[in-house]
Amino acid sequence: MKEKTEAIINVLLCVFLWSLIPVTAKIGQTSLDTIQYLSYSSFTSFVTLTVISLVSGRIVHVLTYSLKDWLVITCLGLLGTFVYYLLLYFGYSKAGAIEVLIIQYTWPFLIVLLSRIILKEKIGLSKLISVILGFAGVLSVLSAGDISTISISSPQVLLWVFIGALCFALFSVLSKRVEKEPVSLTAVYYLAATAASAVTLMMRGSFIIPQGSQWLSILINGMFINGISYLLWIRALRLAEASFVAPFVYIVPVLSAIYLVIFFREPMYITTVAGFILVVTAGLVNSLRSK
């Protein structure tokens, strides 16, 4: 019970940080394209986590990695810290934000399914109900009271976003099998993302220096939203079942909608409140024991 409580605390802190993504991404990508913004953020995350590893003395753990460990960890890093964000940001640049958000947040549901298939975790009634309630809450927030506003205008783009969501779900489930010290491990994840971003930039031959508030966005995104948050996420996954942790993530789009209202004065609807209630209910149901 103590471990599950700690897992909930970690995942809620993670949720708070992830919910800031729309705000920082909107500010940071005013003149930077997807790969440029991702490159700067990934490098910042890598530096942040490496410094933490060095100061805490945990960097020595990477010296114990075997060649197989490096191969597995690099592949996972590419899945969860490069491909996922690359396809997600691509979706936001090519399709409607509402459509992308809905497809993006299929990954908590995918985690529940993959946990059953790969980790053989049991999916009780409470977990199933919590996933359904959470997704209903997301739909309530994003539809703004009119379900007809949710349409599929760019099916090919949304397919790529779904593939990205599947990549992150797979990353989350498989990460439970990597029993390595988490801080240095996450630094290596972002080393893979930084290297992949650098290669992509060199192939494109484009390089732009961020300006003004973009630097603040990159630092916040790299250090906390895409850096520290992964430590919290991996910690939560190690303390509890992946299928238990995943439904709490549905709080993210609800908080994101509130932040957009606060920072960009976007309209608030009664369905946003209803969605928040559904998501909180989903979290409470998920915390119950299934008989």
How far, in Å, CA of 210 to CA of 38, rounded?
Answer: 12
Lowest mean pLDDT among 121-125, 126-130, 149-153: 149-153
What local confidence, expressed as pLDDT, does residue 61 receive?
94
**First vs last C-alpha separation in the chain:** 16
pLDDT tens-digit readout, 154-180: 778 878 988 998 999 899 899 888 889
Domain boundaries, the chain: 2-286
Q: Which range is most confident: 71-80, 144-153, 221-230, 265-274?
A: 71-80
At 145 the pLDDT is 57
Residue 291 has pLDDT above 50, yes or no: no
Mean pLDDT of 247-260: 76
Q: What is the DSSP letter of 176?
A: T
pLDDT on residue 59: 92
Q: What is the band of 135 on the pLDDT scale with cuts at 50, 70, 90?
A: confident
Q: What is the DSSP string of 7-75?
A: HHHHHHHHHHHHTTHHHHHHHHTSSS-HHHHHHHHHHHHHHHHHHHHHHHTGGGGGGG--HHHHHHHHH
Is the model's pLDDT at 136 over the cut of 90?
A: no
**Lowest mean per-residue pLDDT among 4-18, 117-131, 159-173:** 117-131
pLDDT at 268: 62
Per-residue pLDDT, averaged over 25-51, amounts to 86
The answer on pLDDT for 238 being more than 90 is no
Report percent pLDDT > 90 for the chain.
Answer: 25
Is the pLDDT at 290 greater than 50, yes or no? no
Does residue 126 surpass a pLDDT of 80? no
Provide the pLDDT for residue 84.
Answer: 92
Section 226-249 average pLDDT = 83
Phi, psi of 152 (to 5 degrees): -105, 95
Once rounded to an integer, what is the mean pLDDT over residues 41-68?
93
pLDDT higher for 122 or 43? Answer: 43
Average pLDDT over residues 203-208: 75
